[in-house]
Amino acid sequence: MNRKLRLLLLATLSVSFLTISAQEGMFGYIDFNSTLRLMPEYMEAEINLQKMQSDYREEIERSKREFERQYIEFMLEQDHLSASVVAKRQRELQLLMDNNAAFRDKIQKDIEIKRDELLVPIKKKLLKAVSEVCLEKSLDYVIDTGKGTYLYINESKGVDITEQVFRQLGIDVHEESVTEGNLPVIVQEDKK
């Protein structure tokens, strides 16, 4: 019985030691979205999206002017029109207004689809850089500080991997601008 007790005690201690060791892993932290916004590819995607929105805005304005023109024309003529013509014109105006609303909704969906299409490869590139830094630093996991869901980070147990990720992406950020709370100065390096 004594031997069984020793084996049980040894097994319990081994499991406890493994559990404690697993809980003391190193972690990294980074503000994912802020880092994403500093990537040249992201800035390029935003410029493309702004151009797309501008083009759509011009078409919306044109449709709005056309509706207003037809509405004013109708208001000026309605007293001289028969009831059936007034009803027909009202249906036409209602249809035009409905079509404009549907077009605005479609534009919004198109922009969201395009945003996702442009950002997915950029996010994958950033995630790859984060993974590579974690492998270099032997980190077990990464916390996204931009989400604001953490209550405390013990910086002696964790590693801020932001600068290493910038280097991995080929982005040179001058540290003094980051620490002063200014927008970082970005210099794109050729990464070959």
For 115-148, how does the pLDDT look when each residue is reduced to its tens digit (9 = 90+)?
Answer: 999 999 999 999 999 989 988 888 888 888 888 7
For position 184, what pLDDT does the model report?
45
For position 21, what pLDDT does the model report?
41
16 domain-assigned: no
171 domain-assigned: yes
For position 91, what pLDDT does the model report?
95
**Whole-angstrom Cα distance, residue 25 to residue 160?**
15
First vs last C-alpha separation in the chain: 66
**Total number of domains in the chain:** 1
For position 41, what pLDDT does the model report?
94
18 domain-assigned: no
Residues near 178 by beta carbon (within 8 Å), at least 6 away in sequence = 184
Half-sphere exposure of 121 toward its Cβ, with a 13 Å CA cutoff?
7
21 domain-assigned: no
Q: How far is C-alpha 175 from the geometric centre of its chain's CA atoms? A: 24
168 domain-assigned: yes
8 domain-assigned: no
111 domain-assigned: yes
| Residue ranges, the chain, pLDDT below 50 | 7-11, 13-22, 176-192
Burial of 54 (C-beta count, 10 Å sphere; 0-12/13-18/19+): exposed
For position 192, what pLDDT does the model report?
40
- Written as six digits, the tokens of 182 are 């200014």
109 domain-assigned: yes
Place of tokens 């404690």: 20
What is the span of the domain harbouring residue 143?
26-188
For position 42, what pLDDT does the model report?
95
pTM given for the model: 0.62
Question: Long-range contacts for 102-110 (Cβ within 8 Å, ≥24 apart)?
Answer: 103/59, 103/60, 103/63, 104/60, 107/56, 107/60, 110/52, 110/56
